Amino acid sequence: MSDLALFVFVWQRTARAAAYDRVVRDERGEGVISAAIAVLVMAFLGVLMWKLFSETLRNSNTKVNEQITEIK
């Protein structure tokens, strides 16, 4: 095989592989990204629920203290 034929063969295989990679969509990493988004959503919901629970507890405590001072 001559050097020119080898060069042309390697060049066309490389060009074909590059074109194939551009056309075919690669889905590697999609599961990791989806899991990261799910973790962020759950973290946001956890913080939101904690804030709401904390505020509810604070309001309940204030009302209970008002009732106790009213009873005295």
Measure Cα distances from 8 to 1, 17, 71 in Å: 11, 14, 96
Q: Is 31 left (phi over 0), alpha (psi -120 to 50) or beta?
A: alpha
pLDDT at 4: 84
29: left (phi over 0), alpha (psi -120 to 50) or beta: left
Taking only the tens of pLDDT, the chain with its 72 residues reads 688 888 888 888 988 888 877 776 767 767 888 899 999 999 999 999 999 999 999 999 999 999 988 887
